[in-house]
Amino acid sequence: MQPKTKLTGYLHPVYAESFSAIASPRELPYCGGWLLERLIPGSNLRDGMGCYPMFACRDWARVPVDLSLLVDRMVSVSLVTDPFGEFTGDDLRRWFDVVLPHKQHYVIDLDLGPNQPMSRSHQRNTARALSRVQLETCPEPLQMLQEWIGLYNHLVERHRITGIKAFSAEGFRKQLGVPGVKMFKASSNGRLVGLHLWYLHDEVAYGHLGATSAYGSELMASYALYWYAIQQLRGQVRWLDLGGGAGVSEPASSDGLRRFKAGWSTGVRQAYLCGRILQPEAYATLVSKNGVGRTTYFPAYRLGEFADLPAASAEKKC
């Protein structure tokens, strides 16, 4: 099994526990990752999915070992890979039955120096936002829990967010306590208008979630917050992962959100949706029972579980 080492960000068990209201976190002892074990509707069977927004682990080469130990427990396992995971496409195709391109994550290589290219619209909007808001790092993110919940609830209502992204207050309490979390704050004349959360692990800072008030959107506070994060994280990590577009797949993602993230990035990295059928007979029975036709969705018996949602974290003005 994996040695006991200090864990941060998406690898930390408390992050997996933040989903305990909807699923049972299950540790994969050999690779060091976590799955969310769930009851399959209409049956007494269970399956596993990776944590949102991606599956991270310490040793990707041992993923198939852990999967083999779940054959008697789960019908199937699905996950979205960390774009910075140490594996090849051939590895994934050996380990999983389904391997599909999911989303391209926009990334920033901070080793390229402080004068990285930025689109003209981003330069203009960032300068405008910086003249309107004040920025700071929150040294104790947990102390901002209620403020964060208030901003995120505004986001949930505005974009009709449901399912795994509609985190509970207890889930956020756990997420803000995960080692490696960074919180950046935007205010206007003492009034909170935006917060961004990042998770740091090794050489990567992952943009986790961001939320602004209605007034913060008018001020384009997200431009200022992204600019500030780049300045603050430089020297702490090499890479920033800004994530991909909204929705559950790249075609469904918002063009506006993709343009926003692309305007900061120096490149992209691919994330993959991977699925493994552990109990073929049970899987086939569930698919047949649910009347599912030909689909690339995995697991097929959960088709339609996650609806595509509009962009939910960035101003779209340009």
Question: How do residues 240-275 score in pLDDT, each as one tens digit?
Answer: 999 987 655 554 445 788 889 999 999 999 999 999
Is the pLDDT reported for residue 27 higher than 90? Answer: yes
If you average pLDDT over residues 27-39, what whole number do you get?
97
116 and 260 both lie in a single domain: yes
134 and 245 both lie in a single domain: yes
Residue 222: domain span: 106-267
164 and 242 both lie in a single domain: yes
230 and 138 both lie in a single domain: yes
Residue 310: predicted pLDDT:
35
Q: What is the CATH number of the domain that holds 166?
A: 3.40.630.30
- Could you tell me if 214 and 154 are in contact, meaning their C-beta atoms sit under 8 angstroms apart? yes
Domains held by the chain: number? 2
Q: What is the pTM assigned to this prediction?
A: 0.90
Bridge partners, residue 112, by sequence: none
CA torsion through residues 57, 86, 81, 281, sign: negative
Both tokens of 275, joined, read: 């699925």
The CA distance from 224 to 1, in Å, is 43
171-216 pLDDT, tens digit each: 999 999 999 999 999 999 999 999 999 999 999 999 999 999 999 9
Residue 253: predicted pLDDT:
45
76 and 136 both lie in a single domain: no
CA torsion through residues 98, 239, 164, 70, sign: positive
